Amino acid sequence: MLFTGTRSRNAVESAFAIASGLAADGGLFVPQDFPVISTAEFETMKEMDYCRRAETVLAKYLTDYSAGEIKYCVQGAYKGTFDNDLPAPLTDIGSNRKVLELWHGPTCAFKDLALQLLPYLLTTALKKLNTGRQAVILVATSGDTGKAALAGFAGVKDTQIVVFYPRDGVSDMQKLQMTTQPGNNVTVCAIAGNFDDAQNGVKAIFTDGEMKDFLHQNNMEFSSANSINFGRLVPQIVYYVSAYCDLLKDGSLRPGEKFNVVVPTGNFGNILAAVYAKKMGVPISRFICASNRNNVLTDFIRTGIYDRNRQFYTTESPSMDILISSNLERMLHLLADGNCEVVSGLMAELKNTGKYQISGKMLEKLQQDFYGTWCDDEAGRAAIAAIFKERHYLCDTHTAVALAAGENYRRETGDDTLQVIASTASAYKFAPAVLQALTDAALPADDFEKLQLLSQISDTRIPEPLANLRGSEILHKECIAKEEMAGFIRRNLE
């Protein structure tokens, strides 16, 4: 299996793609073709546990890793790090809907699924490539990636991790999770700007020749833990494959019977992984792309025009407050049948004008599979209240956007096919907004008392990783302008 860039046809092996994160021309690595899982293989896989399923999927993409290396990576990532060793359980919530709970890991958000595994994949790749250089992981985060990457990389030999987050664009709990992170290889810094500023800053640093020279002089090399790294994407394909196996196993689906997925979307990584799972043979019918008020993707799916020149809103689902969805580039590459010139052209337009339009043919292809819809904070809160009232099921603000989107879809299309709804964070990570949806009572000022109140109201337990933050020392206090990011990295790595 080889990987090419979305903007050029150079083919590389997976270890190289994972170690470098981004192609040299700024494009994203994509598999040259998609390995397929046969009906018979699904029958075998449905009897496997999560780790074995993950090993099976990884082995099809990372053909330059040995079976032993893959096993070492998967077991290190998923054994003993998730509740009950079940990284991605399905919960039935009635009306032909199942929630795929992706928040049972060490930081209580779905990014753990990928970021517990990525450090293993990356350090193994570096060993294979034998460069002798340290990896510097640069992360721009809308909240959850930062902590999940810190949790994955803290203390990992031969790596440094630098995390930038938008000062006013993350929840209090997310900020606390990041600013209290210990470890002698970690740096955390706030940006006076929004997530797109942080992400653009990181992208610019990646492709900056002078920065590259500076790193090489210090025997270092940049890599990325953002979802532009293929090493982030492949673990996400696993949970869609695994969900299908679970549905086959419990009899919810017959072999080949189709289901829809609903994904609360920001950077388009999670939903793209579902698209890749379909390419491998998972029978997904429609991809319902759920957005919050930053509904640039809804407009794109409906019109074929991507236009980031619009008001940016800070919402109660901050991990989706994004106007430039990086992984959409991989989707464009699929829609353009692998035509790099088309993708390069669209990306250049996006960079220069903040806008592009895809061809009628590409749009038709997109709309065959995709449905775009969105909801605002008020509708999100209503969804949290409704599912709690009906099913006593507690969900966070991002999952709420997906629930509301799933209902919009059914109302607007009449299609009541089984929905698998990606649940991307624990409600406790966004306790203030969730509480406001569930009660009219005044909220306590203290963050941890809010968690306790939520625990009382919902009769569920506060996840340990969040409870343990209480009293942790704030270790990272710096905040810089977006123009200072490169200088900040030099100062900290020197």
Ligand X SMILES: *Cc1c(COP(=O)(O)O)cnc(C)c1O
User: Which are the catalytic amino acids?
Assistant: 111
| Separation between Cα atoms, residue 25 and residue 6, nearest integer Å | 9
* Binder among 268, 371, 374, 393 for ligand X (CB under 6 A): 268
Rg (CA), the chain: 21
- Interaction of residue 398 with ligand X, rule CB under 6 A: yes
Query: Judged by CB under 6 A, which stretch of 149-157, 185-193, 238-246, 265-273 contacts ligand X?
Result: 265-273
In sequence order, what are the residues at sequence separation of 6 or more whose Cβ sits closer than 8 angstroms to the Cβ of residue 337? Answer: none
* Binder among 123, 267, 292, 408 for ligand X (CB under 6 A): 267
DSSP state of 132: -
**Contacts of ligand X in 126-145 (CB under 6 A):** 144
334 touches 328 (CB < 8 A): no
* Binder among 18, 108, 109, 328 for ligand X (CB under 6 A): 109
* Binder among 31, 187, 424, 476 for ligand X (CB under 6 A): 424
Helix (H) or strand (E) holding 135: strand 134-140
DSSP state of 141: -
| Separation between Cα atoms, residue 147 and residue 429, nearest integer Å | 12
| Separation between Cα atoms, residue 281 and residue 446, nearest integer Å | 48
Identify which of residues 195 and 222 has a Cβ nearer to ligand X in the complex: 195
65 touches 14 (CB < 8 A): yes
* Binder among 270, 292, 295, 408 for ligand X (CB under 6 A): 270
Identify which of residues 273 and 435 has a Cβ nearer to ligand X in the complex: 273
**Contacts of ligand X in 144-163 (CB under 6 A):** 144
* Binder among 37, 225, 331, 425 for ligand X (CB under 6 A): 425
Query: Judged by CB under 6 A, which stretch of 21-29, 200-208, 261-269, 338-346 contacts ligand X?
Result: 261-269
- Interaction of residue 264 with ligand X, rule CB under 6 A: yes
* 406: its two tokens: 């799933």
Identify which of residues 87 and 128 has a Cβ nearer to ligand X in the complex: 87
- Interaction of residue 171 with ligand X, rule CB under 6 A: no
- The length of the chain is 494
**Contacts of ligand X in 192-211 (CB under 6 A):** none
φ, ψ at 259 (rounded to 5°): -140, 165
| Separation between Cα atoms, residue 421 and residue 300, nearest integer Å | 21
- What is residue 226's three-state secondary structure? coil
- Interaction of residue 226 with ligand X, rule CB under 6 A: no
Shortest Å, Cβ 319 to ligand X: 3
Site string for ligand X, 303-342 (x = CB under 6 A): ----------------xx----------------------
- Interaction of residue 227 with ligand X, rule CB under 6 A: yes
**Contacts of ligand X in 43-62 (CB under 6 A):** none
Strand partners of residue 308: none
φ, ψ at 281 (rounded to 5°): 120, 0
| Separation between Cα atoms, residue 435 and residue 4, nearest integer Å | 46
**Contacts of ligand X in 452-481 (CB under 6 A):** none
Which residues make up the interface to ligand X (CB under 6 A)?
A: 109, 111, 144, 227, 264-270, 319-320, 398, 424-425
